């Protein structure tokens, strides 16, 4: 099916981008090497992936997004993801993977289902460390399901994803006319939607003086966009400065920006896949 081949190519591009970035930014090499392993697994998860078929009368595209996932068919793949992370993850993640691997499949199903319903954020009763497993495992399926929906996204949408309800992971600046327009990328289904430039996606502050952008010399195409009212920040990738960037991958390399923001009292709107 053509659509699936396209998705596979997307994951290949992300993996290749991570490899290139790891050479450019040695301080992020370890994080990006781990991401390449995770992304290769995410790509493999797509082969044979099928959306839930509802009651047989409706097509998956007609079901509410939250009901499109056939978790039962995916669950048998979860143990191989856990063993991958136990092998190549950080000590904290590896330990969490080993602990999760000893749980019953019913526990995995609860974890995945809870995170699916919240758009990939921490659900009540779910350990923070376990959100990584759920989000990484569900992300390719969410992206694939979102791509099949062809939902018309509103120009200047809300601060959460209109498709899955996820929080934005990263901002993007793209060329438009003589300037740049901003969009946000969903942390779960990776849908990108237009968003006004001068507004905080966390609290809605739109007073120019309360919104700051910070840059670091080693990343001329990335910046921290922070709000002085709620002290929340999001990293933004400026594609007008580097057209080769892939926002969700480049953002993983922005470790110094995250450290700087956190040392200066800002909290990230949504931690990335690797918990940074």
- Site for Zn ion, rule CB under 5 A: 161, 163-164, 166, 186, 188-189, 191, 200, 202-203, 205, 227, 229-230
Q: Which two tokens stand for residue 214?
A: 């910070």
Q: What angle do CA 96, 122, 186 make, to 5 degrees?
A: 110
- Please say which residue, 200 or 237, places its beta carbon nearer to Zn ion: 200
How many CB atoms neighbour CB 57 within 10 A?
A: 7
Closer of 123 and 161 to Zn ion (Cβ):
161
H-type helices in the chain, by residue range?
2-24, 29-46, 71-74, 78-88, 91-101, 105-117, 128-149, 247-250, 255-263
Q: Which is nearer to Zn ion, 134 or 161 (CB)?
A: 161
Kindly state the smallest distance separating residue 158's Cβ from Zn ion, in Å.
Answer: 12
Nearest CB to Zn ion, comparing residues 210 and 241? 210
Least CB distance from residue 98 to Zn ion, whole Å? 30
29-51: b or e for each residue (b if 16 or more CB lie within 10 Å)? bebbebbbbbbebbbbbbeebeb
Token pair recorded at residue 28:
């992020």
CB of 200 to Zn ion, least distance (A): 3
Spatial neighbors of 86 by CB under 8 A, at least 6 apart, are 94, 97, 98, 101
Two tokens at 34? 């781990």
Minimum CB distance to Zn ion smaller for 187 or for 258: 187
Distance CA 272, CA 36 (A): 14
Q: Tokens 């591009």 — which residue?
A: 13
Quote the least distance from Cβ 230 to Zn ion, whole Å: 3
Nearer to Zn ion, 157 or 275 (CB): 157
């Amino acid at each position: 099916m053509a659509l699936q081949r396209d998705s596979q190519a997307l994951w290949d591009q992300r993996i290749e981008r991570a490899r290139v970035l790891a050479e450019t930014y040695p301080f992020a090499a370890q994080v990006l090497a781990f991401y390449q392993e995770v992304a290769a697994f995410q790509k493999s998860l797509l082969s044979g992936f099928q959306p839930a078929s509802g009651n047989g009368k409706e097509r998956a595209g007609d079901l509410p997004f939250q009901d499109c996932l056939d978790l039962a068919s995916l669950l048998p793949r979860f143990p191989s993801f856990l063993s991958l992370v136990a092998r190549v993850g950080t000590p904290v993640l590896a330990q969490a993977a080993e602990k999760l691997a000893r749980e019953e499949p019913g526990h995995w199903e609860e974890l995945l289902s809870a995170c699916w319903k919240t758009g990939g954020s921490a659900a009540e009763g779910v350990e923070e460390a376990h959100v990584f497993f759920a989000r990484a495992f569900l992300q390719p399926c969410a992206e694939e399901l979102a791509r099949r929906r062809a939902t018309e996204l509103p120009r200047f949408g809300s601060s959460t994803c209109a498709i899955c309800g996820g929080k934005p992971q990263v901002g993007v600046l793209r060329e438009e006319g003589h300037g740049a327009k901003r969009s946000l990328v969903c942390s779960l289904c990776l849908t990108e939607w237009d968003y006004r430039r001068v507004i905080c996606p966390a609290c809605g502050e739109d007073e120019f003086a309360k919104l700051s952008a910070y840059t670091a010399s080693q990343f001329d195409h990335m910046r921290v966009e922070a709000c002085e009212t709620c002290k929340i920040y999001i990293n933004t990738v400026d594609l007008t400065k580097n057209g080769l960037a892939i926002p969700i991958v480049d953002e993983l390399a922005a470790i110094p920006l995250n450290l700087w923001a956190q040392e200066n009292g800002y909290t990230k709107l949504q931690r990335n896949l690797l918990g940074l």
